[in-house]
Structure 1
């Protein structure tokens, strides 16, 4: 691999901003529809940004899953794919890359990260088990509870603070972990799960020291450690930037060290290597055998696991590129820029900047909207209306109802604006910042939402909502008053 370079560049003036360490060779046309068309589109989508048609979206910041830009080397690698159903050479190239990057001998391919969660949950969780973790992800929680487990989020006191200078808000609280194991007994804890760059609380990373401490507890009680490595590259980047012990350590070595602590590593390739797919990795042959039979049952044969061989080839290249600092730091640097600029404008954003996206605190942004009226969902809809930028609600809409049918209110109400790797330009980022700033100045115009169609499981994907009053029309009227015919 070529010599790695830092993306941090000193400018002559006072302004600092990220510089792309890549050039754009292939482009995809975007459309910025008139505000009236955007209002019509969000109405047809049931005020759920997941249900918007991409032809109506300007900047698609819904997620980084499967939306990262692939490199020239990834695209060219797809041309040598081996289409064999069994024994494909493409799989063995991917297996070698995983062994090199993650340091795990045994590999099980799956079609995406939630498929890995299904396998791990079915094999290791039984009714009555408790699973401690730094924070849950929506599909993780669903799979574990379907198999009879109960999750416990044992984050530190800093984790849910909106404004903080704590560099590792994704750490597990060791005292809470010890207390949990003492209360329930180690035999009811199948594993401890750590998520690299916690998705639902602002993409916040954990430190190597915290992994060491968690591993010591796990070993003392004979409990496995499971690592969700979907954003492991970004977590490794933050460790290099924020944990002094590792400031001179390569991303590749940090990444390997993180995986060394875990008995099982699973991941979504849609995030970790800019292509579709996923996998489960371990060095323990017995653990491998326990999981192996479910892959042909749910995913496909053991050398493709539900993925096309072209995706497998691109994954192998993308895994290696994840260890390149000029690749892995592009998204965090743009997120940091957006967070810094919005914070200057008093917009309530999660600090410090994390992985995956810029996270706006909807309860501070819209304090007049009750949490039962889904402020994060309302903010996502409002931002789309006035900008064409599609973000994702990460709050109570992404939660569930209790046995009485009442919403289990989320710990945080966040609007996540994802920054897929190497997708957006600085001018597009500045456009986003400008529109968020305008919306914040006019935030009192935004009202709440209510469900009109609500699926029983993972309702945030397909549920439909409606505004509680006529606030979208008032928002559009104010936008046209300030911007005229501008889009």
Structure 2
């Protein structure tokens, strides 16, 4: 059952095929470089792209813009305490601001950070501190066909092997990302969180939960973890988050706002370190790079995110898109996650080798065929990591309808009909930070000469 109705609409248009082809070339075959006006259905990200509720818009008008001591900050503090269980928070302009504040306070040169799977900005912030990010996904996490209910879980076996190799003194930080974005948006069980908490205690490490999609994760917990079969999403969320020493949060996901984030912790010493670092990089501790109105809107959004009607509709909409894409023959990562549908681009384009970025080729073809924008999360986004060639179609919250999904499915079907005609891509310009190359790198179709050489070399 749909949990809301539209009050405001935005006109969108599908550019001509000729314009889409030109726009793709002008963008260097990188969807991040496309102008939003040239996109028809935008599934690039669910971060900050959703529609706010009428209560959130009302909060915008009531926002307190005081530089210090804002009442909007008091409202956010109250919401974080009620919904997430933490009394102290340091606001930031968005999630990567929170990562900079927290990981800058916790990591030093030569350290190792463990995570069920680092996402791009998390990996970059860890590396920026001179530390080494190490992924600890469970066995089968990268298999798009297994039906494990919590494929986002943190592998303690892998983590202990790393500690045995480098020594516990080099591992001051253990992170668990819920849901696990880099593993196709897969959920994490509360039982796994408990065990990771115990492991962090064993090695005297700080345990951080990246909570940007905490409500979506809690929904899956109530549906898939027997202990929580009779629990509310709100109760499951508080239970899971309560095992962490600190949270890093992008409010642009399950805060249901267009900007903002925070660090939350009840560790007094860590709170003070984060607060001082935030003053340097973000702003005063009661606004943290946000306008007061945005702080107020997030306070409302956090409470709405754990409402059963909202979160059920949210997850079911993503699941519906997955079923529609699977019905036209696209190889969908199973089970479908909470915020996005992930496509196995390697299986979609079996003729394109990994070093020609089949995922990025799929992103480009979805745009060329129907003005649909997604994002590659395979070997282009994560160089030198052992991950499948995935394309993510992230669904903005409370934004699109069934008709938009019909168009996405029709576009995917058109791409599949031409799958053996699609060329791979090669990078022609690279940014200095390899962990972030997919944001700004430029590509071009593989030349006929290179393709012929590759074919000859495989014979």
Shorter chain as denominator, the TM-score bin is: over 0.9
Matched, 1:347 2:330: yes
TM-score (norm 2): 0.94
For the residue of structure 1 that corresponds to 2:248, the secondary structure is: strand
Question: Unpaired runs of 5+ in structure 2?
Answer: 449-459
Matched, 1:417 2:393: yes
Please give the per-residue CA displacement for 1:268-299, whole angstroms capped at 9, x wherever unaligned. Answer: 01112121100000111111112221011000
- Contact in 2 for aligned 1:339/1:351 (Cα 8 Å): no
For the residue of structure 1 that corresponds to 2:426, the secondary structure is: strand
CA spacing shift, 1:409–1:252, aligned 2, 3 Å:
closer
Spell out the pairing of 1:1-400 with structure 2 (5 A cutoff): 19-275=1-257, 276-400=259-383
Aligned residue pairs total 445
CA offset at residue 155 of structure 1?
A: 1.1
For the residue of structure 1 that corresponds to 2:252, the secondary structure is: helix
- Contact in 2 for aligned 1:349/1:359 (Cα 8 Å): yes
CA offset at residue 33 of structure 1?
A: 1.4
CA offset at residue 241 of structure 1?
A: 1.4
CA offset at residue 358 of structure 1?
A: 0.7
- Contact in 1 for aligned 2:75/2:296 (Cα 8 Å): yes
CA offset at residue 183 of structure 1?
A: 2.7
Separation in 1, partners of 2:365, 2:447? 13
- Contact in 1 for aligned 2:375/2:393 (Cα 8 Å): yes
Alignment RMSD: 1.3
Structure 1 residue aligned with 2:416, among 440, 447, 451?
440
Q: Which residue of 2 aligns with 1:478?
A: none
Q: Which residue of 2 aligns with 1:454?
A: 430
Question: Unpaired runs of 5+ in structure 1?
Answer: 1-18, 401-407, 471-487
Separation in 2, partners of 1:156, 1:62? 27
CA offset at residue 409 of structure 1?
A: 5.3
Greater displacement, 236-245 / 294-303: 236-245
CA offset at residue 330 of structure 1?
A: 2.7
For the residue of structure 2 that corresponds to 1:152, the secondary structure is: strand
Separation in 2, partners of 1:372, 1:236? 37
- Contact in 2 for aligned 1:360/1:415 (Cα 8 Å): yes
- Contact in 2 for aligned 1:233/1:322 (Cα 8 Å): yes
- Contact in 1 for aligned 2:65/2:292 (Cα 8 Å): yes
Q: Which residue of 2 aligns with 1:13?
A: none
CA offset at residue 469 of structure 1?
A: 4.4
Matched, 1:429 2:394: no
TM-score (norm 1): 0.89
